[in-house]
Amino acid sequence: MSPAPRVGVVGHVEWVEFVVIDHFPRPGEIVHASTWFSEAAGGGAVAAVQLRKLAGRSVFFAALGDDSVAAAARDELERRHGVELHAAARERPQRRGFTQLDERGERTITIMGERLVPRGSDALPWGRIAELDGVYLTGGDAAVVRRARAAKVLVATARALQAVEESLVELDVLLGSATDEGERIDAARREPRPRYIVRTRGKDGGDWEAADGERGTWAAVEPPGEPVDAYGCGDSFAAGLTFGLAAGMPLAAALEVGARCGAWALTGLGPYGRQLTLA
């Protein structure tokens, strides 16, 4: 059996409060939550935990605030989830979020505070990235993108597009959502062009296009149960895709791993309730 790929994430953390309600409130309405909990989340954190569950370990380069919320986020990622976290300190409150989940598993998200991401000038063990087979990038400056490129495979979210463009780095995959305005990708404007542009379409799977013009699609995976919580499904998909490519899989197989991760995540409460494991 081949050894698991060495994988990591470069990006952001948010401390998120989740509440489960039977419907989203109308203007002026008061609704009562049936369940509520808080934990470290955000795209970078969710992907780092999913990668740890697939590969056995993951390295996470991030930035945290200087308050008790940041301390709680660090403790949870390291102690509860087993992520190897290297986080630069910022003299400001930790970014937080508020997520409402309705009875269909759909979510609405409100974010509070400045997005904290690592910078290339931060005194983090950047040399470790050269040891990694795959990295997923959710945020940072142009210098961070160039550091992340030392990995064998580099996948980046479209939400980090400005830093990617400024870095002039060639990505292996630029990942976005075809249904989310904040993640739309105009292939004609990308320079240098990524090897692949991948667009997710939720329950309709997604499509991809290669730098040489080849195109393709993939089908969604049937969830192993009823939908519970859509939060983190896309980030789990990204982690699965990164894991597959880092393991040397062709794109089609890596996309299937990503789709399976997203489907499993949909059936658990919270971003970590039912993430896929290698077993």
Q: What is the pLDDT of residue 279?
A: 81
Q: What is the DSSP letter of 140?
A: -
Residue 162 within any structural domain of the chain: yes
Average pLDDT, the chain: 94
Residue 137 within any structural domain of the chain: yes
Going by pLDDT thresholds of 50, 70 and 90, the confidence category of residue 257 is: very high
pLDDT tens per residue, range 142-159: 999 999 999 999 999 999
pLDDT tens per residue, range 177-204: 887 766 667 655 667 899 999 999 988 9
Residue 277 within any structural domain of the chain: no
Alpha carbons 114 and 31: distance in angstroms, whole number: 28
- The CATH number of residue 97's host domain is 3.40.1190.20
Q: Which domain holds residue 253?
A: 7-266
Res. 1: pLDDT tops 80:
no
Say how many domains are in the chain: 1
Q: What is the DSSP letter of 76?
A: I
Residue 181 within any structural domain of the chain: yes
Residue 261 within any structural domain of the chain: yes
**CA 207 to chain centroid:** 18
Nearest to 60 by CA among 211, 196, 228, 242: 242
Res. 118: pLDDT tops 80:
yes
Res. 67: pLDDT tops 90:
yes
Residue 273 within any structural domain of the chain: no
Phi, psi of 213 (to 5 degrees): 100, -10
Residue 259 within any structural domain of the chain: yes
Going by pLDDT thresholds of 50, 70 and 90, the confidence category of residue 131 is: very high
Going by pLDDT thresholds of 50, 70 and 90, the confidence category of residue 60 is: very high
**CA distances from residue 263 to 121, 201, 232, 273, 276 in whole angstroms, order as listed:** 37, 13, 11, 12, 9
Q: What is the pLDDT of residue 102?
A: 87
| Range scoring the smallest mean pLDDT among 51-65, 97-111, 227-241 | 97-111
Nearest to 258 by CA among 225, 221, 228: 221
Residue 13 within any structural domain of the chain: yes
